[in-house]
Amino acid sequence: MRTYLVKRFFMTLLVLVLVTVYLTLLVHIVPGDPAKSLLGPRANPDLIAKIRAAMDLDKPVLEQLGLALWSLARGDLGTDIFTGRSISELIGAALPHTLILAWTSLSLAALIGIPLGVYSATHPDSWLDRITATVSISFITVPSYVAGLFFLLLFAVQFRVMPAIGMGAEGDVLDYVQHLILPVAALAISWVGYLARLVRASLLEVLNQTYVRAAMAAGLSQRLIFYKYALKNALIPTVAVLGIGVGKLMAGAVFVELIFTRPGMGTLIFNAIQARNYPVVRAGVLVVAFLFVAANLLADLVYTYLDPRIQLGKARG
């Protein structure tokens, strides 16, 4: 396990390095000068030169790469060219809101989707299984931004039972939770259907395995067989998907945060793109990439625990 963690640590570093290189080169690949796009066609040449220097665009490409990688090694995300504030402070203020939104959405989807999938697998072809299948497939096809707009119009505008935008009064936990309900529901709805179908398919496959049938033939309790042997193995693909799903949730959070005007990484990166604030865009994408890799590492550790054969295979490798 220690060797595996060391390998994943270096893989994480490699991903961050490649993302840094890509973002540094992207400025030179995309047509146009970022400084001129930022300031407009009538900007003073001296001011353009200052902005280019602030973003290190006045240096050769290789030197820019070296500076970007050195900043990454030191954990320095740079400085906002507009406010002069540390980008780490900006991300530190925005990141918790996005993490709360993403993890709450994922938890809600798991709490609803997994039991639905389990019930459908244990009652196949029942009328409730068919209803669950129809609802699940319908949920899968709903993008988060469409669900967000629908919930906003229905519950905030039409019935006025939920707050529409923002994150609530500062320091008021109850108000914060109320403002979180609609964004979480919009982000979780498609995952509810996906997890329900995935768990159903995985559990049906496991229940048809030879060792499960042998346990049933041996007279073991169906409850023991289901929870100790079948469900644990059926959840392995689900855990793997949840790890990958964090990246998709982060992408969906961008639209949801914009719809509900919530502060977070999505809003921060979107506003930075609109303002051509390249240092903030680069730092924000780096942080999101790191979160994606970290979530996959956590998923690997969890399903290694769920299936000891995976751990044995890694030890032999």
Is 80 exceeded by the pLDDT of residue 246? no
Tell me, yes or no, whether 48 and 190 share the same domain.
Answer: no
Whether residue 241 is found in the same domain as residue 103 = yes
Whether residue 167 sits in one domain with residue 55: no
Q: Give me the pLDDT at residue 151, please.
A: 93
Is residue 44 located within the same domain as residue 187? no
pLDDT of res. 181: 94
| Per-residue pLDDT band at 313 (split at 50, 70, 90) | very low
Q: Which residue has the higher pLDDT, 293 or 66?
A: 66
- When mean pLDDT is compared across 64-68, 108-112, 232-236, 311-315, the lowest value belongs to 311-315
* Token digits of residue 268: 């921060």
Residue that the structure tokens 């505008």 belong to: 157
**What CA–CA distance (Å, rounded) separates 39 from 310?**
54
Percent of the chain with pLDDT over 70: 95
**Residue 79 forms part of a structural domain:** no
**What average pLDDT does the chain have?**
84
The residues with which 79 forms a beta bridge, in sequence order, are 86
Domain shared by 124 and 251, yes or no: yes
Tokens standing for residue 66: 């070296």
Verify that 169 and 287 share a domain, yes or no. Answer: yes
Do 168 and 281 belong together in one domain?
yes
Residue 310 confidence (pLDDT) above 70: no
- Overall residue count recorded for the chain in this entry: 317
Q: Which residue has the higher pLDDT, 244 or 178?
A: 178
296 and 155 together in one domain:
yes
| Eight-class DSSP state of 86 | B
Q: Which residues contact 15 (CB under 8 A, 6 or more apart)?
A: 289, 290, 293
Integer Cα distance of 76 and 84 in angstroms: 14
pLDDT at 221: 80
- 156-178 burial, b at 16+ Cβ within 10 Å, e below that, comes to beeeeebbeeebbeeeeeeebee
Dump pLDDT digits (tens) for 37-46. 777 777 788 8
* Model confidence pLDDT, tens digit, residues 126-170: 888 888 888 888 888 888 889 999 999 999 988 989 988 888 887
Q: Nearest 5°: phi and psi at 218?
A: -80, -5
Angle between helices 87-122 and 173-207 (to 10 degrees): 40
| Residue 316, pLDDT above cutoff 50 | no
Which tokens is 150 given? Answer: 């629908």
Expressed as residue numbers, the domain containing 287 is 94-316
Which whole number is the average pLDDT over 245-263? Answer: 81
Tell me if 294 is assigned to some domain: yes
Query: Looking at the structure, do residues 142 and 275 belong to the same domain, yes or no?
Result: yes
Tokens at 173, concatenated = 């936990």
pLDDT in tens, 30-70: 777 778 877 777 778 888 888 888 888 888 989 999 998 99
Q: Is the pLDDT of residue 204 over 80?
A: yes
CA distance 314 to 317: 5
More confident residue, 98 or 236: 98
Note whether 199 and 234 are within 8 A (CB): yes
pLDDT, residue 5, reads: 73
Of 21, 46, 44, 49, which Cα lies nearest the Cα of 34?
A: 49
Residue 311 has pLDDT above 60, yes or no: no
125: left (phi over 0), alpha (psi -120 to 50) or beta: left
Whether 19 is covered by a domain: the verdict is yes
120 and 248 co-located in one domain? yes
**What is the pTM assigned to this prediction?**
0.84
Tell me, yes or no, whether 284 and 151 share the same domain.
Answer: yes
Instruction: Report whether 302 contacts 295 (CB < 8 A).
Output: no
Average pLDDT on 71-95 reads 90
Whether residues 264 and 217 share a domain: the answer is yes
How many folded domains does the chain comprise?
2
Question: Is position 141 within any domain?
Answer: yes
Residue 227 burial (CB < 10 Å; 0-12/13-18/19+)?
A: exposed
Token pair of 83, please? 């406010």
CATH number, domain containing residue 310: 1.10.3720.10
CA distance linking residue 304 with residue 83, whole number of Å: 45
The dihedral of CA 58, 62, 65, 67: what is its sign? negative
Percent of the chain whose predicted confidence (pLDDT) is above 90: 20
Non-local (6+) Cβ contacts of 83 within 8 A are none
Which pLDDT score is estimated for 1?
A: 64
In 3-state terms, what secondary structure has residue 218?
Answer: coil
